[in-house]
Amino acid sequence: GAVVSQHPSRVICKSGTSVKIECRSLDFQATTMFWYRQFPKQSLMLMATSNEGSKATYEQGVEKDKFLINHASLTLSTLTVTSAHPEDSSFYICSARTAGSRYNEQFFGPGTRLTVL
């Protein structure tokens, strides 16, 4: 149980285009989903927290107009990188938490490798 998927696993795009990444909880309802960014050989940096049906809460320094997050259902959250540039190239990981989680346990997706040319 507690499986989270991400699609696509890898994407290459041209500078200036937008890219959408999907995060799905496959066997549970995720009231809260988190989006992280990870640079090579570094830790995870939380970008934003999204609760189903409400606006995402972005961490300081993360551009909300650049990284659009939608959490329209209890099993799906999307991250759209708008007008992508090479510096947006990174490994993006989502995680999900159930409504009844007492311990803030998060289940992570396999990640999406974004390369912007």
Partner 1 sequence: AQSVTQLGSHVSVSEGALVLLRCNYSSSVPPYLFWYVQYPNQGLQLLLKYTSAATLVKGINGFEAEFKKSETSFHLTKPSAHMSDAAEYFCAVSENYGGATNKLIFGTGTLLAVQP
User: What distance in Å separates the CA atoms of residue 14 and residue 30, rounded to the nearest whole number?
Assistant: 32
Shortest Å distance, C-beta 103 to partner 1: 5
* Sites for partner 1 among residues 24-63 (CB under 8 A): 31-32, 34, 41-44, 46, 49, 51, 57
**Binding of residue 82 to partner 1 (CB under 8 A):** no
**Binding of residue 68 to partner 1 (CB under 8 A):** no
Among 11, 68, 113, 115, binds partner 1 (CB under 8 A): 113
